Amino acid sequence: RKEVEQDPGPFNVPEGATVAFNCTYSNSASQSFFWYRQDCRKEPKLLMSVYSSGNEDGRFTAQLNRASQYISLLIRDSKLSDSATYLCVVNMRSGGSYIPTFGRGTSLIVHP
């Protein structure tokens, strides 16, 4: 079982829709959590960090559920430009280091 799992999709939604992605992780020692966006053949770029209390950045809301070991990303009022692959990342503490593990990504396609 992969340590960080995501539904690969694709999620195909119309403009203006609300869409949500989940990401589950298996290691309860996980320390920090992030969502990245990756456009085709480009490098991943940070979308937002995920805090225990949940956090919002414009149309994007991220939440963490430590008890059930998952993080979520909600996108409201989807735009065509939101079409991309969304990667969740979990950092696990190992000795004095943090080891990042990526999910395989969820593909989002927003159509007119």
Partner 1 sequence: NAGVTQTPKFQVLKTGQSMTLQCAQDMNHNSMYWYRQDPGMGLRLIYYSASEGTTDKGEVPNGYNVSRLNKREFSLRLESAAPSQTSVYFCASSDSGREQYFGPGTRLTVT
CB nearer to partner 1: pick between 74 and 99 = 99
CB of 111 to partner 1, least distance (A): 23
d(CA 103, CA 52): 19
CB nearer to partner 1: pick between 90 and 110 = 90
Nearest to 72 by CA among 81, 63, 80: 63
CB nearer to partner 1: pick between 17 and 38 = 38
The sign of the CA dihedral 38, 43, 47, 52 is positive
CB of 84 to partner 1, least distance (A): 14
CB-CB contact of 108 with 83 (8 Å): yes
d(CA 25, CA 98): 15
CB of 14 to partner 1, least distance (A): 26
CB nearer to partner 1: pick between 96 and 112 = 96
48, two tokens: 């937002």
| Residues in touch with partner 1 (CB under 8 A) | 8, 31-32, 34, 41-46, 49, 87, 89, 91, 93, 96-105
CB of 102 to partner 1, least distance (A): 4
Name residue, tokens 């053949």: 41
